[in-house]
């Protein structure tokens, strides 16, 4: 039977090491984008072919692979290993409108590659991994463990990405301490349970409004500027990671109030890690009496959304204005 006829342009191809290599490969999950590219994940055998890879060689014992095939099947757009020194198996994959692949699987590696991780360290035994690759396959956008002290597995697809940066995961856990949040069933049922998790890729950063001051007083009638520091942590170097031009700040976080960010670096909280300090136009931040929180939003240089929150005290405080005369508001 031919897979190519006058009406159907199709393909069928092997994907794996060249002949005479030892060990086997297998695919477990597949997705496709609007252009007809196919995205595949599974377990890579030794000598798995790589093209423009994020990880060009195996981390050790069996790794996962992620591969993108061109629409006609004749070419690998990219193909990369993904894994650490122990066993890593990719089981499910989905893709967003920009062509970024999101992969889920399970790993017993304690050195699985992580970045901007929700859970940077394995819970023990097998854990899930969830990872996002750049559209060209040569960068890990983010990657995290997800699991407790016993075994977590994902079988079959186990992943859905309805929109960029929002990932749903389903699988199986034997861990009574599986990490939960906003759980409809907070307690482990015993033996093994199913689980469902949603991951939002927005990176939460620590910020300090008016560094060195407390409380963080803001006078909305001021024509001045408000300084805000984006604080670094061991896994987030704010001066290097933040796209300075992207930063917005104010009562909702969407206010385009940016005046400037420091080119140099300063350690505002004295933890030895240089922080990023930016200044914002007070009128544009739109703070009002009664506001208790300032929100900063932006992106990392590789396009991940960031958000940070800190308390504010708006002066004059609520209740001390517009109390005379009993007149109603004009709006």
Select from 178, 63, 75 the least CA-distant residue to 123: 178
Shortest Cβ 121–Ca ion spacing (Å): 11
Q: How far apart are CA 92 and CA 305, in angstroms?
A: 24
Q: Which one of 219, 266, 271, 311 is in contact with Ca ion (CB under 5 A)?
A: 271
| Cβ nearer to Ca ion, comparing 40 with 77 | 40
Distance CA 261, CA 301 (A): 15
Rounded to a whole number of angstroms, the minimum distance from the CB of residue 259 to Ca ion is 22
- Tell which one of 33, 88, 96, 255 touches Ca ion (CB under 5 A): 88
Maximum alpha-carbon separation in the chain: 92
| Residue 267 found at the interface with Ca ion (CB under 5 A) | yes
- Whose Cβ is closer to Ca ion: residue 97's or residue 183's? 183
Distance between CA 286 and CA 249 in Å, rounded? 9
- The residue behind tokens 């990671």 is 241
Q: Which of residues 12-41 bind Ca ion (CB under 5 A)?
A: none
**Residue selected from 42, 45, 53, 59 as contacting Ca ion according to rule CB under 5 A:** 59
**275 is a site residue for Ca ion (CB under 5 A):** yes
147 touches Ca ion by CB under 5 A:
yes
Residue 239 engages Ca ion in binding (rule: CB under 5 A): no
Q: Which stretch binds Ca ion (CB under 5 A): 65-73, 77-85, 242-250, 313-321?
A: 77-85
Size of the site for Ca ion (CB under 5 A): 16
Question: What's the min distance (Å) between Cβ of 148 and Ca ion?
Answer: 5
Residue 64: half-sphere exposure toward Cβ, Cα within 13 Å: 31
Scanning 15-23, 202-210, 217-225, 266-274 for contacts with Ca ion by CB under 5 A, the matching segment is 266-274
> Would you state the structure tokens that stand for residue 289, as one six-digit string?
């009496």
116-135: which residues touch Ca ion (CB under 5 A)? 123, 125, 127
The Cα–Cα gap between 167 and 12 comes to 29
Of 29, 42, 53, 83, the residue at the interface with Ca ion (CB under 5 A) is 83
User: Which pairing describes strands 225-230 and 152-153: parallel, antiparallel, or unpaired?
Assistant: unpaired
Segment contacting Ca ion by CB under 5 A, of 42-50, 76-84, 183-191, 314-322:
76-84
Instruction: Rank residues 59 and 171 by Cβ distance to Ca ion and give the closer one.
Output: 59
Decide: 295 and 245 in contact? Cβ < 8 Å: no
Among 17, 60, 120, 303, binds Ca ion (CB under 5 A): 60
Name the minimum Å distance from CB 132 to Ca ion. 19
Residue number, 236 or 287, with CB nearest to Ca ion: 236
**CA–CA separation, 114 vs 162, rounded Å?**
23
| Nearest-angstrom CA–CA distance, 297 and 250 | 9
What is the Cα–Cα distance from 133 to 142, expressed in whole angstroms? 7
Q: Residue 201 has which token pair?
A: 């890729």
Instruction: Kindly state the smallest distance separating residue 82's Cβ from Ca ion, in Å.
Output: 9
Running DSSP on this structure, what letter comes out for residue 300?
Answer: B
Residue closer to Ca ion, measured from CB, 235 or 292: 235
DSSP 59-110: -SSSEEEEEEE-TTSS-EEEEEEE--SS-EEEEEEEE-TT--EEEEEEE--S
Residue 163 Cβ vs Ca ion, minimum distance, rounded to whole Å: 28
Give me Rg for the CA atoms of the chain: 25
Of the listed pieces 49-57, 87-95, 96-104, 203-211, which binds Ca ion according to CB under 5 A? Answer: 87-95
Contact indicator for 309, 228 with CB cutoff of 8 Å: no
Cβ proximity to Ca ion: between 82 and 295 the closer is 82
Binding site for Ca ion (CB under 5 A): 59-61, 63, 83, 88, 123, 125, 127, 147, 152, 267, 269, 271, 273, 275
């Amino acid at each position: 039977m031919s897979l190519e006829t006058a009406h159907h342009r199709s393909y069928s191809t092997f994907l794996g090491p060249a002949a005479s290599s030892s060990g086997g490969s297998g695919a477990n999950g597949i997705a496709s984008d609007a252009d007809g590219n196919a995205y595949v994940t599974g377990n890579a055998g030794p000598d798995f072919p790589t093209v423009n890879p994020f990880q060009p060689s195996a981390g050790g014992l069996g790794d996962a692979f992620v591969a993108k095939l061109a629409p006609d099947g004749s070419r690998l757009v990219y193909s990369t290993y993904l894994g650490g020194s122990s066993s890593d198996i990719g089981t499910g994959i989905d893709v967003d409108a920009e062509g970024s692949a999101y992969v889920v699987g399970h790993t017993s590696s304690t050195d699985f590659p992580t970045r901007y991780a929700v859970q940077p360290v394995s819970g023990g035994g097998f854990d899930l991994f969830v990872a996002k690759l750049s559209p060209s396959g040569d960068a890990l956008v983010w990657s995290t463990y997800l699991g407790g002290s016993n075994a977590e597995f994902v079988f079959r697809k186990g992943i859905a990405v309805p929109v960029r940066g929002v990932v749903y995961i389903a699988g199986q856990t034997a861990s009574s301490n599986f990490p939960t949040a906003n759980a409809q069933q907070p307690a482990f049922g015993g033996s093994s349970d199913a689980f469902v998790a949603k991951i939002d890729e927005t990176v939460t950063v620590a910020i300090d409004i008016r560094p060195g001051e407390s409380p963080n007083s803001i006078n909305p009638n001021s024509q001045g500027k408000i300084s805000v520091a984006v604080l670094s942590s061991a896994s987030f170097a704010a001066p290097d990671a933040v796209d300075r031009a992207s930063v917005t700040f104010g009562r909702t976080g969407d206010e385009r109030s940016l005046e400037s960010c420091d080119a140099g670096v300063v350690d505002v909280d004295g933890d030895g890690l240089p922080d990023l300090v930016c200044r914002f136009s007070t009128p544009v931040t739109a703070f009002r009496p009664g506001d208790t929180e300032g929100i900063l939003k932006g992106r990392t240089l590789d396009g991940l959304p960031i958000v940070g929150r800190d308390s504010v005290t708006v002066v004059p405080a609520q209740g001390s204005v517009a109390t005379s005369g009993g007149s109603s508001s004009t709006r």
